[in-house]
A = this chain, B = another copy of it.
Amino acid sequence: MARNRRGKERKDRSGGAEQLPWARVQNPFPPLQLLRPDQLDAIDEAAFTILEEIGLDFLSPEALPVLRAGGAAVEPGSQRVRFGRDVIRHWVAKAPETFLLKAREPVHDVGFGGTEMVFSLMASAPNCSDIEHGRRPGTFADFCRFVKLGQTLNAVQVFGGYPVEPCDLPAPTRHLDCQRAFVELGTKPVHAYSLGRTRILDALEIVKLGHGLDDAGLAADPRIISIINTSSPLRLDGPMIEGMLELAPRNQCVVVTPFTLSGAMAPATVAGALAQQHAEALAGIAFYQMIHAGAPAVYGGFTSNVDMKSGAPAFGTPEYFRATVISGQLARRWRLPYRSSNVNAANTVDAQSAYESMFSLWACVAGGVNFVKHAAGWLEGGLVCSLEKIVLDVELIQMIRQCMEPIVVDEDSLGLDAIREVGPGGHYFGAAHTLARFEHAFHAPLISDWRNFESWREAGSPTAMQHAHERAKAFLDAYEQPALDAARKAAIDDFVDRRKREGGALAA
C-alpha cells in the first residue's frame, strides 16, 4: 500500500463508502520485548515443569495411543499425559513457521507467520445486536447478514467461526447450513468448529466441494482453520481431540488456544497464567504434530483476567496487553505463527468498547500477532456480535493499516517548492502541491465525524455508533453474492440434503 499507489487503491467504494482495498497486511513494526530472554526462559522452564510433573488430561481414549507413540508418558489407567521437554521440542519443531490459508478465490488467500497480520470476523457470539433491532439471540438470518458484511468489508479477511450462533436452527444440522453459507456467500477462508468428528468431516467435505477439489487437492493446502480451545486448566476435551485427529492428516490448520482467565482458570498473576497457557499450547501443538508431522498449527494466546471482586471477565486491560505481547515473544521463540484477539467487555458501542478494543489491537500490533481473531464485531466479552462494532473495528483496522504504510520522503513529498511558493504567512489551500493531492492525501474515515459542533448538532448529534450503523447498512446494500460454479453448488446442496436426512451430527 505504498503512498503512490493510494490513488488507485482508494477507488474501492463498496457500500458507497471508501474503504481500503483487500491486502495481505504486513506488520513492519518490531515486536515489543516486554520480557528479557532470561524471563522467557523462566516461563519456558515453568511450562516444562508443568508438562513433566503435572501433565494434561486428554479426554478421549483415541488420543492416548498417538501420544504414547509420540513419546509422551500416559499414566496407566488414566487420561493423564506427561511430556518430557525433549518430546515437546521434537514435535513442536515440526510445525511450519509460515503457511498459506487458502480461500475459495485465490485473491483472498492469507499468509500466517512472519510479519503477516490477518484480521478475522468476530466468532461464536450467542447473541447479536444492532441499533435497529436491539440485542437478541442470533438466528440464521443474522448469521448470513454478518457473513455478507464480512465478505463486503475488505479489512475482514477470514470467517473465524460463526459470527453469531444461529439459535433457530436445530443443533445437529446447524453446522451444515453454516458451512454451506460460508462457502456460498463468501470467498474468504473459513473456520470449522472441532466439535466432534462428524461436524469437522462435514465441514471438510463442503469446503472440498465448494473449492472444487478431490481428497488429495484438499490435503495439499490448509483451507480450514479450527480453533482448539484447551479446557483450562490442563485438559483437552474429546470433541476437540476428534477434530484434531481428522484435520491433521488432511493438512488443515488448528489454532491451539488456552482460554486462561487469570484468577479463574489460571493463576492470578500474568506470569503464572502465561506459564500455564504456554504448557497447554505446546502440548496441544505437539499432539497435533504427533498425529501428522508438519500440519500447520498456530500458537493461540487468550490470557486475560477476571475482576477479582465480581468474577466478571475483563478484556482489553493492561494485563491483556502484557499477556498478548509476551505470548508473541513466546510464540516466536518456538517459531510458531501467533494468534490473539480484538476484545473488550463493554455492553454497548461506547467509548469503553473503543478504548478496550484499541488496547487489544495495539497489543496485537506491538505483539506481532499474525492472526487477529474477533477482529471485527466483538462486544460484551464475546456474548454479542454487534453490527455497529464491526464497522467501528474496521475503522480501527484501516487506521492501523495506514499507520503501517511506508512513508515516502523524496523531493516531491518534501514539497520545498510549495513551501517556497507559499512562504511565511501564506497558506497551502490553493497551492499546486496541495491541489494535486486533493482527493487522496489523507486518511478518509468510515465513521469519524469531523464536522464542527454546530453542523454536528444540526445533524442530530449522531454518535460514532449511529454513523457505524448507517455505514453497515450501506455496506450490506452493496453486497453481491460471489459467483459459484453451478455444479459445485449442486454438489454442496446434495451433500447437505443427504447429511440432513441422515440427522447431521446426531448420526455420528
Contact = CB atoms under 8 A, between A and B. Distances in A.
Contact of A34 (B135, B319, B407, B441): B407
A347 B442 contact: no
B427 A305 contact: no
Interface string A179-221: 0000000000000000000000000000000000000000000
A2 to B, nearest CB: 13
B443 A408 contact: no
Contacts of A449: 345-347, 352
A80 interface: yes
A413 B135 contact: no
Interface residues of A, number: 119
A446 to B, nearest CB: 11
B348 A414 contact: no
A448 B410 CA distance: 45
Given A233-B426, A346-B449, A355-B358, A317 B442 contact: yes
B312 A380 contact: no
Contacts of A383: 452-453
B358 A359 contact: yes
A77 interface: no
Contact of A359 (B43, B307, B351, B399): B399
A317 to B, nearest CB: 5
A56 to B, nearest CB: 6
B437 A308 contact: yes
Contact of A268 (B29, B262, B313, B434): B434
Contact of A428 (B264, B409, B419): B264
A414 B305 contact: no
A26 to B, nearest CB: 15
A450 B345 contact: yes
A235 B441 contact: no
Contacts of A305: 441-442
A380 B345 contact: no
Contacts of A299: none
Nearest to A53: B420
B312 A450 contact: yes
Contact of A450 (B314, B353, B414, B457): B314
A414 B43 contact: yes
A400 B54 CA distance: 36
When A and B form their complex, which 7 residue pairs have the shortest distance between CB atoms, in order from nearest?
A: A272-B415, A318-B402, A267-B415, A354-B354, A234-B424, A358-B358, A351-B354
Interface of A: 29, 32, 34-35, 39, 42-43, 46, 49-50, 53-57, 80, 135, 231, 233-235, 262-272, 275-276, 305, 307-308, 310-314, 317-319, 321-322, 326, 345-359, 362, 380-381, 383-384, 392, 395-396, 399-400, 402-403, 405, 407-410, 413-416, 418-420, 422-429, 431, 433-434, 437-439, 441-443, 445, 447-453, 456-457, 461, 463-465, 468
11 contacts: A34-B407, A39-B409, A80-B424, A267-B415, A267-B434, A271-B410, A308-B434, A308-B438, A317-B443, A352-B448, A380-B452
